[in-house]
Structure 1
């Protein structure tokens, strides 16, 4: 059964009120996490960057990924948590394992570790870290996966790897428990990459070994009906930084991700499930942002109207423990 996660908003200004920054930003992220848990979301995902520049020349800063995950682990009870994804060459593997172990102490079995090869060369320079060639970054991901499993032993959290190029897919097939493809792949593109992943996993895994679970990150916007969806689109276009949607038509925009009325959202969920997707990471307007304060509850209510609700009841605290 497909499950839904939330790309948690946690960057400066990536909230319905763009003036929310700094400490208020971190407190808002924790509050939205609790709302998502109450609404029945399966998982919260946190981005791992020092900052992002959405194109308007303003660096949008963020809490540290693993410090925020520790705070989330302490302030939630049943919802799963994960990094999407930690750029491995930006962190020392032994120190990353120490951070993961600390969060796992608090989160227990609710934690997933998302790993990636990194892409933001300017961020690496800002952190005074080398940005090696792609092959070396892939090797670093494999080393980090091995270090985490060796140091944490049987209690090591599931490892997810994010990416879509052939090298990262081959690595995922060999060593990962799960795979994420973001943002907004078409069903056709996902299906092609997924078939490659499964074929590679079949060649490299031990007999009977399960292939990695699959997830996609999708822009998600819900409207009660067509008129409401168009109103929310206009609000999003005014809100999104750097005017990224100014040249895109409503009809073109609505074809992406999980955008539509409740009935349309449920139909798209069914399509992704048929393609073998286990989990969808919902970006409510933009990745790790939230433009519309009621989207969390609207989305939860819409999918729970389906007979095969992808938002199952969260386990009790006793089941988690």
Structure 2
């Protein structure tokens, strides 16, 4: 496995953050969105650079961004707004240690050679911090707009994985190549099954990006993943509202939880016990200021999982 995958699992368990770096799904965030006349699901990105730098300094392991090419009001979610590879290149320039992941790039609607060049560019510019999450996509409206067939996305996904691997899929006339030619293979993590059989996924991809769930959900999913992929990394996400009272009990909702830091720590320890390797925290429902929340997690939660982690940078 490449260095980014090794770093993701350093210490046995790690915690990251998922963009957008805004709590726009809260009542206060919704009110601010209306005042600013942003679209429903469009976050406030005024502080995204400062918060990305802060997450890096505090020792969060990875910053994950999504690939949502077109805003669709039916979904009401613009993700982090910026084009995924352009944004990763920007983040590579303003951070030092934090891994930069995609969760996940929709391969079948993209031009394959440009995707390869974009991914290699980010990998080189970030000094091998890229974690390339990939998927087949789940928004049918996008495919005809990009001149792609929705029903054949599974076969296109396989072809693009082969190309990203630089193997048989890279068929160029003699003398031509895609630069930069990075010495480290692109680390590919899959979101969902991407219209493939589990055995194929386990054999051809380097890691799993699983949908959020309870520790028991993940225990079952991890077992299925290990059966086809062996010891390759397994990661997932939590939509978190970290309340100020440390002892506030855990309350579950779809894709996440609300509670104090003790409840969060217990949940993360249960996920670690379920053999999950990494969890990315998403804060769009978080009522408190994000900088304050990042500091609390870094100071009271991260140290419990920091056996071999990179030490936080000085402020």
- With over 3 angstroms needed to count, the CA separation of the structure-2 counterparts of 1:186 and 1:57, relative to structure 1, is closer
Match of 2:282 in 1: 283
Q: Is contact 1:8-1:44 (8 Å) kept?
A: yes
Match of 2:239 in 1: 219
* Partners of 2:23 and 2:13 in 1: CA distance: 31
User: Which residue of the other structure, out of 185, 197, 210, is the alignment partner of 1:156?
Assistant: 185
User: Which residue of the other structure, out of 200, 207, 212, is the alignment partner of 2:228?
Assistant: 200
Match of 1:299 in 2: 297
* Partners of 1:90 and 1:49 in 2: CA distance: 11
* Partners of 1:297 and 1:217 in 2: CA distance: 19
Q: CA deviation at 1:5?
A: 1.0
Counterparts of 1:25-64 in structure 2 under 5 Å? 25=44, 28-53=47-72, 55=74, 62-64=81-83
* Partners of 2:312 and 2:141 in 1: CA distance: 42
Match of 2:141 in 1: 122
* 1:179 and 2:199 correspond: no
Counterpart of 2:183 in 1: which secondary structure? helix
Match of 2:259 in 1: 260
Q: Is contact 2:189-2:207 (8 Å) kept?
A: yes
- With over 3 angstroms needed to count, the CA separation of the structure-2 counterparts of 1:156 and 1:20, relative to structure 1, is farther
Counterpart of 2:20 in 1: which secondary structure? coil
User: Which residue of the other structure, out of 303, 312, 318, is the alignment partner of 2:309?
Assistant: 312
Counterparts of 1:134-173 in structure 2 under 5 Å? 135-147=154-166, 152=181, 154-163=183-192, 167=196, 169-173=198-202
- With over 3 angstroms needed to count, the CA separation of the structure-2 counterparts of 1:298 and 1:126, relative to structure 1, is farther
TM-score normalised over the length of structure 1 = 0.74
Counterparts of 1:217-256 in structure 2 under 5 Å? 217-225=237-245, 251-253=251-253
- With over 3 angstroms needed to count, the CA separation of the structure-2 counterparts of 1:197 and 1:108, relative to structure 1, is same
Tell me how many residue pairs correspond in the alignment.
282
* Partners of 1:125 and 1:24 in 2: CA distance: 27
Q: Is contact 1:116-1:162 (8 Å) kept?
A: yes
Q: Is contact 1:94-1:147 (8 Å) kept?
A: no
Q: Is contact 2:134-2:191 (8 Å) kept?
A: yes
Q: Is contact 1:37-1:78 (8 Å) kept?
A: yes
| Runs of at least 5 residues in structure 1 that lack an aligned partner in the other structure | 203-210, 231-249, 317-321
Q: Is contact 1:66-1:103 (8 Å) kept?
A: yes
Q: CA deviation at 1:134?
A: 5.3
- Measured on the aligned residues, the alpha-carbon RMSD in Å equals 3.6
| Runs of at least 5 residues in structure 2 that lack an aligned partner in the other structure | 1-11, 171-177
